Each structure stands twice: as C-alpha cells, then as structure tokens.
Amino acid sequence: MGTGPSGRAGARLVKWVVIALVAIVALFVFLPFAVVPNGHRGVRLTFGSASDEVLTEGLHWRTPLMQTVYKMPVLIERSETESEAASRDLQRVRTQVVLNYHVDPKQVVRVYRTIGEFDNIEPRIIDPTVQEAMKAVTALFTAEELVTKRPEVSDRIRFAVNNRLQRHGIIVDEFAITNFKFSESFDAAIEAKTVAEQQKLKAERDLARIQVEAEQKVAEARGLAESQKLNAEAQAVALQAQRAAVTPELIELRRVEAQLEAIKRWDGHLPTVSGGATPLLNLDAETLQRGRTP
C-alpha cells in the first residue's frame, strides 16, 4: 500500500517536530552557562557533587554534560506545624504555630549537602524541630500558665527553634503561637474558674463600696456630733458670760428702773384693795424725788 502526498507531508512534520525537541533538549544540556533567578542561590554540581562556591543571581558558566546548577530558594517561606504535648500538670495540649523562615544565602551549599533539595527542608528539619521544642517547653508550664503566660511560652519555643534551625543554615524570621487547644473538661474547668473569679471581684467591689459608704456615714455622724458639741460649748460660754455680767449693782439698777417706770405710769390714785386696806408702795424719798424730776 503506497503513501500519497498527504502521508509524506505528515511524516515530514513529525520528523521536524522530533528534530526540534531533540535540538531544544540538546541546547539545554550542552549550553555552557546557567541562569540563577531572583530570590535563589545556585549550587554547582559536578557529576552530582556540590562545589563550595555559592552562585549568586545571574549568569554562570558550567561544563556541559559534567556540571549542573541546582537553584535553591532563599526567599521567606511560611510553615504551619501542629503538635500535641503534655503540660506540667499532665494536661494534653494541641498547639498550632506559624513559622516564617528562609535559607541563609551564605549557607546554601551546606544546606544542600546536609538536607538535599529545598522540598526536604520542611518535613525533615522544620517540623521535627518545632514539635520537639514545643514538647520540651510545654512540659515546663501548667495548662493554665500556657494561657496566662503565652508570650513567655512563645519566646521560649522560638528561642529553642531558632537555635536548632541555625545549625542547619535556616534562619527564623517570625514565630507565633496561633492556638492552644485543651480537652473539653479542662475548658469547662477554666470557664468555671473564670466565672468564680468574676463573682469574687464583684463581691470585693461591693464590699469596698459598702465600706466607703459606712465610713462616709460615720464621718457625717462625727461631724454632726462635733457641730452639736461646739454649739453647746458656745451656748455655755455665752450663759456663763451672762451670769458673770449680772452683778448686785446691775440688779439694783434694774430694780430702780422698774420703780421709776411705775411712778411714771401712776395717775395719783391709790388702787382699790378689798378689805379696806391701803396698799403701800415701797418708795423712799430719793426715789420719789427722782420720779418728780423731769
């Protein structure tokens, strides 16, 4: 069975496609240079063995077929890890943390030699390191302290994680505890304790208010008593002054004034007294003389 013009044209097209693919592959394999993109560092591999030089961003020469360049990311990456550990009072705690990190650009070769490609970093190094640090630090605190001393707990875990990752050429940029999860029974106990503390604070505030009000009433009573005492003392002083002012001379003066007033009002007639007795006025001559004198 022969082939027509269309069959021969199709065969030629397939041939040229294959040639193009081979040429592209050959171009990449036999090119004497490699490009390290932004946010990466290069590791030159000679038959799979990493050289000591860290290749920075840009164009770098290599020996075709013998050498390749692995491009290691050095930008900040985000990792989330969840771990379960026991607190000092043996409460089970699930802790979730978020870690931002990056590979130290100066230690890219060492990271590649000890860990391998970038995708190995999180499962082999970061997750185990974070979990180990969380278990070690969680055991130092009670479940309640993990909540009340959360900043201190976070700082301790970060310190432990940072020290261990630095030994592997990984730098911690940010670390945060996003959640503590306890058992339902412990959550209920914490809630009950919180309610009890709030009630205690309310009772203390009420007691303080009652004490203040009582002290105010006592102060008012003391002020009133002191005022009454001062008034009584003032009245006593005034009465004493009045008594001191009443002398025999004053008494005699008042008696004479009363007699003179009686003389002024006398109309010259003696009052009628039952039984025919004549009333007597206790008036001496000197008093009568003063009464007649205008």
7 located within any domain: no
CA 105 from centroid of its chain's CA atoms: 38
Q: How far is CA 165 from CA 100, 104, 126, in A?
A: 12, 10, 7
My answer on whether 178 and 196 are in the same domain is no
Within a domain: 166:
yes
Domain end call among 56, 73, 90? 73
The rounded distance, in Å, linking the Cα atoms of 191 and 208 is 26
Q: Which residues pair with 155 in a beta bridge?
A: none
253 and 198 belong to one structural domain: no
Q: Considering the domain boundaries, does residue 9 fall inside one?
A: no
Domain boundary among 154, 182, 210: 182
Tell me the residue range of the domain where 83 lies: 77-182
Same domain, 129 and 169: yes
**What is the distance in angstroms between the CA of the first residue and the CA of the last residue of the chain?**
182
Position 269 in a domain: no
Which amino acid, one-letter code, is at 258? A
Q: For residue 8, tell me if it sits in a domain.
A: no
The set of residues, in sequence order, having a beta carbon less than 8 Å from that of 272 and lying 6+ positions away, is none
Element (H, E) at 42: strand 40-46
- CATH code, domain with 112: 3.30.479.30
Is residue 256 situated within a structural domain? yes
Closest CA relative to residue 106, chosen from 150, 37, 169:
169
Q: What is the pLDDT of residues 67-87, one digit of tens each?
A: 889 999 999 999 998 888 888
pLDDT of residue 11: 75
CB neighbours of residue 43 within 10 Å: 23
Q: Is 88 in the same domain as 155?
A: yes
Most confident of 12-16, 148-152, 225-229, 270-274: 148-152
In a domain, 271, yes or no: no
CB atoms inside a 10 Å sphere around CB 50: 15
Total domains, the chain: 4
- At 216, list the tokens: 């105010």
The one-character DSSP state at 37 is -
Q: Are residues 92 and 168 in the same domain?
A: yes
Q: 240 with 250, same domain?
A: no
Kindly state whether residues 195 and 99 are assigned to the same domain: no
Q: E strand or H helix at 68, and its extent?
A: strand 67-73
Same domain, 38 and 128: no
Span 92-118, pLDDT tens digits:
888 899 999 999 999 999 999 999 999
User: Per the domain annotation, does 5 fall within a domain?
Assistant: no
- Element (DSSP H or E) covering residue 291: helix 285-292
Asked if 101 and 192 sit in the same domain, the reply is no
Contact predicate 99/174, CB 8 Å:
yes
Give the pLDDT confidence of 210-268 residue by residue, as tens digits.
888 888 888 888 888 888 888 887 777 777 777 666 677 767 777 777 777 777 776 66
* Res. 156: pLDDT tops 70: yes
Q: pTM for this structure?
A: 0.56
Domain boundary among 164, 182, 200: 182
